[in-house]
Structure 1
Amino acid sequence: MQTSPRNPLLETLPPITPGTALFLDFDGTLVEVASQPEAVVVPATLTGVLAGLYRQLGGALALVSGRRLMDLDTFLAPLQLPSAVEHGAQRRNAEGLLISAPPADMRHVLQAAEGLLELHPGLRLERKNLALSLHYRHAPELEELCMQVMRAAVERSSGLDLMQGKCVIDLKPVGVSKGTAIAAFMAEAPFAGRQPVFAGDDVTDESGFSQVQQMGGYAVKVGPERTVAHHRCAGVVELMAWLQSAMPAAASAGAGASGGQRLTA
């Protein structure tokens, strides 16, 4: 009898079972990081895989991203999943309700970022609903200057946190993170009572890794950088193989409820 070839990757990553609550970052995890935020290429199979897992997990699948909600919905259309966006500042729950953190005063950080752009056109400013991202991917030599200027602007502001990701500086309301967003999901149906699993690739995902591990779940770091996560895979392709490998097992266990009402695929 012929057996399937051994896949070492799938032996080192945590299981996705009918009792899993699955949380996934977007950029660098489900799609490769692009030169500009709008230039990402969504794999042809991604929407179908996410829709299948959503159904098999009874709706207990959510995206946890620094993106705006409208960006995720556009990239994955017609699929609309429960999502925490802008690093936890906004969250669409399983019932489709949008929950937002109190807005912070962005005047000083916006003025500082725009001043940097006037002097250095290689920078990119991404304005969101409750957050702000300053990208220096095309001008990495400006990292120190950008951090210095934006930290000074945050010190003149109230209610703002600064985070540094991969060639980006993120400003968001204080007190919210990917970790707080995952904790909020886990207090609600259909996530409550399940074992959380979160996969992400950036420093901004570390709060989510810590949160799921504190709750007895699993964290998966995508990429080689240092992390608190106990599991790791090399990149987007390997992450997708892990997700696809879980679909037959979940289906055979009978996890086929549709869960929420926002699945339109």
Structure 2
Amino acid sequence: MSMPPETLPRITPETALFLDFDGTLVSLAAQPELVEVPQGLAGTLAELHRRLNGALALVSGRRLSDLDTFLAPLLLPVAGEHGAQRRTADGLMVSAPPADLAQVLQAAEGLVARHPALKLERKNLALSLHYRQAPELEDLCLQVMREALERSQGIELMHGKCVIDLKPEGFSKGTAIAFFMSEAPFAGRVPVFAGDDVTDEAGFEAVQRIGGHAIKVGPGPSLAQHRCASVSQLAAWLQSAVASLPGSGSPASRPGFAA
């Protein structure tokens, strides 16, 4: 197990902890459904959730159902689809108004039909076009999807690691964290957010703006003031937090949550 970097912020009983999934808790895979969840991850998250009195949430571009499947039987507060959908600490589902994805969906389906190495991921309120298996098609994918975006309303394009996301306008990981921070049990705590991609920068900005800490996992430019080299180092940091935090109540036993 990698040792956690000493420069990472300490997780305390006053922390509100927000974690990206892909590239942060799990290593990236050739296809999104092929990621391997490290042994013990769900248990570590469940224990942190308990010791932080419920103030731990996932903030991801994934669908909520995908995250639940990967971490089953654990159910956590979570923001999916870059903030377009959230499940609060009380289990309440909150969604952005649906946007008209017809133009971008048609364009993405056309690209996949012509280039089978591409993968289209349909979500509830968004879609993702993955080109990890065909990186040479990056410029073409961006051009086609941006042209389709010009024919659409209420949609934003986000360009991540070998993926182009189309999602409802005005929602981001930053807005998701801000919503969580206005609600119990996150309100009044010091937010800490760890992520690895350009799509996490809005979350980094959100937590640092209110005096929290942002952690960039892996290489690349970032406004995050903390850096963690790898998924395994971040896992070691989380495990060290479990060892250092005092025991507390068990919010994971609330209806709808299973540890």
TM-score by length of 2: 0.97
For residue 121 of structure 2, the aligned residue among 126, 129, 135 is 126
Alignment of 1:96 with 2:60, yes or no, is no
Displacement after TM superposition at 1:249 (Å) = 1.4
Cα deviations across residues 133-184 of structure 1 (Å, max 9, x unaligned)?
0000000000000000000101100000000000000000000000000000
Q: Match for residue 62 of structure 2?
A: 67
Alignment of 1:39 with 2:39, yes or no, is no
Q: Match for residue 262 of structure 1?
A: 256
Contact 1:51 1:263 in 2 (8 A): no
Q: Match for residue 3 of structure 1?
A: none
Displacement after TM superposition at 1:100 (Å) = 0.2
Displacement after TM superposition at 1:258 (Å) = 2.0
* Cα distance in 2 for residues equivalent to 1:221 and 1:21: 17
Cα deviations across residues 90-140 of structure 1 (Å, max 9, x unaligned)?
000001010000011000000000111111111000000000000000000
Q: Match for residue 164 of structure 1?
A: 159
Q: Which runs of 5+ in 1 are unaligned?
A: 1-6
SS of aligned partner of 1:81: coil
* Cα distance in 2 for residues equivalent to 1:126 and 1:95: 28
Identity %: 70
* Cα distance in 1 for residues equivalent to 2:95 and 2:70: 22
Cα deviations across residues 61-117 of structure 1 (Å, max 9, x unaligned)?
000000001100000000000000000000000010100000110000000001111
* Cα distance in 2 for residues equivalent to 1:165 and 1:21: 25
Displacement after TM superposition at 1:257 (Å) = 4.1
Displacement after TM superposition at 1:197 (Å) = 0.2
* Cα distance in 2 for residues equivalent to 1:123 and 1:246: 39
Aligned positions, number: 256
SS of aligned partner of 1:91: strand
Q: Match for residue 4 of structure 1?
A: none
* Cα distance in 2 for residues equivalent to 1:175 and 1:28: 24
Aligned Cα root-mean-square deviation (Å): 1.0
- Counterparts in 2 of 1:212-227, with a 5 A limit? 212-227=207-222
- Counterparts in 2 of 1:21-60, with a 5 A limit? 21-60=16-55
* Cα distance in 1 for residues equivalent to 2:206 and 2:129: 26
For residue 149 of structure 1, the aligned residue among 140, 144, 147 is 144
